[in-house]
A and B are shown apart, each in its own frame.
Chain A
Amino acid sequence: MVQQDPAPRSDWIVEVAGVDKSFAGVHALRGVDFRLRPGEVHALIGENGAGKSTLIKVMTGVYRPDAGRIRFAGEDRAFRNPLEAQAAGISTIYQEVNLVPLMSVARNLCLGREPRRFGLVDVRAMNRLAAEALKRYGVDVDVTRPLGSLGLGAQQMVALARAVQIDARVVVMDEPTSSLEPREVETLFSVIRDLKRQGIAVVYVSHRLDELYAICDRVTVMRDGAVVHTGEMAGLERLRLISLMLGREMSTVRAKGATAFGGEHERREGVPALRATGLTVRHRVHGVDVDIHRGEVVGLGGLLGAGRSETAKAITGALATDGGAVEVEGTELARRSPAAAIKAGVVMLAEDRKTEGILPNLSVRENISLALLPRLARAGVVSQAKQDEVVRFFMERLRIKASGPDQKVSDLSGGNQQKVLLARWLCLDPKVLLLDEPTRGIDVGAKAEVQALIDELAEQGLGVLLISSDLEELIEGSDRIVVLKDGRAVGHLEGDDVSEQAVLDTLATADPADGAEPTGDDAQASEDAGSAVRAEAAVPTEATEATEPTEPTEAVGDEHPQDRSRSAGHAVTKEEPR
């Protein structure tokens, strides 16, 4: 059902026609047609495994198609490797930033194209060029710092700046916003609009539908290796888009809603399953209190760098704390370490699946049973029967799609990897589950499954802490929300207050780190902030609107909000222990 586009041939910058590609007999692409106009932003969407990445890799020379042809700027081209594609003007920004973390920002930006003077790299000119280039992307950082010291968002901007600088005619963005905070997304969008004006075509891959509607002109939907729809973005109903991706009937999608969360849960009163008080991590978290009862989902809201992940990590002891206590069902944890937390029944699904989650070279079986091993063993010898039983149960229960328990986990799709990690924690039979971005970077189908699972677990009496940058997910998934900003809890939303507007307002108005309440202690500050929400609601503020930093302290991706507070404020320094 590919629609014919009327534009004449020469109008396409990229034409992919009838491309097939299979791996080990499995068709990844089947007769795919894809065309790109100069100056358009073209959304490429589909579930994981639909063939988006393969298509991109075929276009950019990573893979060679088994059949079909690719035309670039009206000429038949067969890129033999990514370098050739890059030289021709196709730049790709991958989900994971492909730069050198230990080299300086400027060096990364100019890698391979350093300005030279007397045959040597002209470092000063390079730094100046880099700083100028980055300023256009709303990144104001010291370009001599190693890239790895920047936040992920800022790193992505560097990657983008680098990609565009190579005289790109086509820029491919593979989930560019998955690690950006809203403000950075705005900056990215303004950069994309700028690219459009220059006639550069953008292929935009994302799971976030809001973004597609905000920035994309046309859309191509893929499913099971084939293109199922190509057309204008405007006028395409959201539900229709979802049903195209999932291959489900519209009515089913409509009935289930955009997320798979059900209604509110029944909170079990009494001693909270988890009570964290006065959590403090130097420079990151300043006296945060969180209560989680059995049977409820508590959301942790806030922007990137607000201290959400750090709070979760501080609870489990994965991050050393400088103060605060954690009680599990009324008993204070004496030792603070992931092992102690797990023993007490508190487990955390870490944000970074790759570095903190999966054991890439090991099997699904080993990955699931990792933390359970001691309980599966007698005298140190693992009972394989018991291990198989647990693994089989959870693979079925979470519908993990793998060829079997022996498949290497890195061969699975992102969604299935995430399910494997969930299985790792659920098989421990925990009391409290801390979920840090549980649906990031996984496809729509798996996302819905994970959300439904969270719901189900809460209903069964698990206490859940949900961290999500996807506001819709946070709102629909949580019964209560604690809003963090600059490492402080600035708002507690309950009942009808659990709404998008309330979260945004809290974020926009509460400003403890800038010393709005120089004399107040934490409790005072957050209370005042909370009341301020209601007073100043719906006033658009810089935090959500700004597309360009107006002052150096607004640096995008600044990982260390304390730098800011130290220079600007008093409240924070007072807070630091000893």
Chain B
Amino acid sequence: MTPTTWAGPDLLDRARLTRLLQAYGVYAALVVLFVVAAVLDSSFLSAGNVRIQLFQVAPTLMVALGMALVIGTEGVDLSVGAMIALAASVVPLYVGYGAPLAVLVALVFGAVSGAVGGTMVAFARIQPIVATLSLMIGLRGVAELINGNSAKPVMNSGLLSLGSDGFAGVPLMAWIAGVCAVLTALLVRRTTFGRQLVAIGDNRQASKLAGLPVRRVLVTVYVLSGVLAAFAGAMIVGHGAEADPAHQGLNMELNAITAVVVGGTPLTGGRVRVLGTVAGALFMQLITAVLTQHNVHTSYTQLVEAAIICFAVYASQERGTR
């Protein structure tokens, strides 16, 4: 019927291309975007613009780091946005005792709510998406109970400097997010906990049979995610000089997931790409900023973002080309 000699497309090259794309695509895209933006608009590289971008990306990155860990265990944490709101509602209550204590209390709240989510996932074996969805709704409720519906101005100098000061020309928030990224990378690559986390995400049953403390690791992961989100919340409050739980942290969970996915961490677990997550967060921040700065309408910006997410997920799929 059909001829039996094949000279079809070179599957091997395509496979290699896919692999390269998976490994370095996000970095390449980031570089290209950066160059294009700088060529289109010389003010893009101005100190002022860079500062603004860093201010905006820092909280997202913090949350995304925690999210990357959770996704590495084959989970997802939808409660991080609400956690930011809760932190925003708690900070004004304790800011009278000084900024450090206020931030610390926010972090404790983050740890506790993370522990609640983690317990639901690890012990009650509720699916992560459901467990953290309920937590998300509950935390928003708690935040509103504590704060009421109105925004409160925050004047504490410590918090304000956390949110807007810089060091060596780089915002403090960006420094903190950068340090957190490095610590997260070390945690994943070098520690027992990090390797166990990835193993559990890859094959939970096998990990359990190998005597790994599966539940403890899972709970810890959600605690870390909660703490990072709470820290991001405190920074957002400091940056905006007001606590507005009704609006702060909205959609943050989705931005964080986007950054993680664009950064090449598969949603199926067993892999955490910290540097990729950093690049993913930066990329999403910059693309939005560039489009906005060139007066592209918000609806088109969203369409572009949607296309990028689709493409990132498509590219990260492992296709059987063996």
Contacts and interface: CB of A to CB of B under 8 A. Distances in A.
Interface of A: 23-24, 64-70, 75-78, 316, 318, 337-343, 348, 350, 355-362, 366, 369-371, 373-374, 376-377, 380-382, 384, 424
A27 to B, nearest CB: 14
A77 B205 contact: no
Nearest to B6: A64
A286 to B, nearest CB: 24
Nearest to A365: B195
Interface of B: 1-6, 8, 12, 190-193, 195-196, 198-199, 202-203, 205-213, 270-271, 322
A64 B207 contact: no
A69 B4 contact: yes
Contacts of A373: 192, 195-196
B206 A355 contact: yes
Contacts of B202: 359-362
Summarize A's interface: helix, strand, loop or mixed: mixed
Contact of A23 (B199, B205, B322): B322
B203 A371 contact: no
B213 A362 contact: no
7 contacts: A65-B6, A76-B2, A78-B3, A359-B199, A360-B203, A370-B210, A377-B191
Contact of A377 (B5, B192, B213): B192
Nearest to A371: B210
B1 A359 contact: no
B206 A358 contact: yes
B206 A357 contact: yes
B271 A348 contact: no
B212 A381 contact: no
A361 B207 CA distance: 13
Contacts of A380: 191-193
A373 B199 CA distance: 11
Given A340-B211, A381-B191, 12 more contacts: A69-B4, A76-B2, A76-B3, A318-B208, A318-B209, A339-B213, A362-B198, A366-B199, A370-B212, A377-B192, A382-B195, A424-B210
B270 A359 contact: yes
A358 B202 CA distance: 9
B211 A343 contact: yes
Nearest to B195: A373
A341 B209 CA distance: 10
Nearest to B187: A380
B206 A371 contact: no
B206 A359 contact: yes
B152 to A, nearest CB: 40
A425 to B, nearest CB: 9
A342 B211 contact: yes
A66 B6 contact: yes
Given A76-B4, A339-B213, A382-B192, A370 B207 contact: yes
Contacts of A65: 6
A356 B211 CA distance: 12
A464 B207 CA distance: 22
Contacts of A374: 192
B314 to A, nearest CB: 19
A356 B209 contact: yes
B270 A348 contact: no
Given A78-B4, A359-B202, A338 B12 contact: no
Contacts of B209: 316, 318, 338, 348, 350, 356
Contacts of A358: 203, 206
A23 B16 CA distance: 12
A382 B190 contact: yes
B271 A361 contact: yes
Contacts of A357: 206
Contact of A366 (B8, B198, B212): B198
Contacts of B195: 366, 369-370, 373, 382
A365 to B, nearest CB: 10
Contacts of B211: 337-343, 371
A526 B271 CA distance: 50
Given A339-B213, A357-B206, A70 B4 contact: yes
Given A23-B322, A76-B2, A366-B198, A359 B212 contact: no
Nearest to B321: A23
Nearest to B200: A359
A355 B203 contact: yes
A208 B2 CA distance: 38
Contacts of B213: 339
A424 B270 CA distance: 18
B92 to A, nearest CB: 36
A509 B211 CA distance: 39
A94 to B, nearest CB: 13
A77 B199 contact: no
A484 to B, nearest CB: 21
A67 B199 CA distance: 41
Listed residue (B1, B3, B210, B270) with the most chain A CB atoms within 10 angstroms of its CB: B210
Contacts of B12: 23-24
Contacts of B208: 318, 338
A335 to B, nearest CB: 12
A371 B212 CA distance: 7
B192 A356 contact: no
A158 B205 CA distance: 27
A451 B123 CA distance: 39
B8 A362 contact: no
A446 to B, nearest CB: 20
Nearest to B194: A382
Nearest to A339: B211
Contacts of A78: 1-4, 6
B199 A362 contact: yes
A470 B322 CA distance: 31
Given A339-B212, A382-B192, A67 B5 contact: yes
A348 B211 CA distance: 11
Contacts of A370: 195, 199, 206-207, 210, 212
A113 to B, nearest CB: 24
A43 B299 CA distance: 62
Listed residue (A339, A370, A371, A377) with the most chain B CB atoms within 10 angstroms of its CB: A370
Contacts of A341: 211
A75 B208 CA distance: 53
B15 to A, nearest CB: 8
A77 B5 CA distance: 10
A384 to B, nearest CB: 8
Contacts of B1: 75-78
Contacts of B271: 361
A356 B206 contact: yes
Contacts of A75: 1
Nearest to B12: A24
A382 B189 CA distance: 9
B115 to A, nearest CB: 19
A355 B205 CA distance: 7
Contacts of B212: 339, 370-371
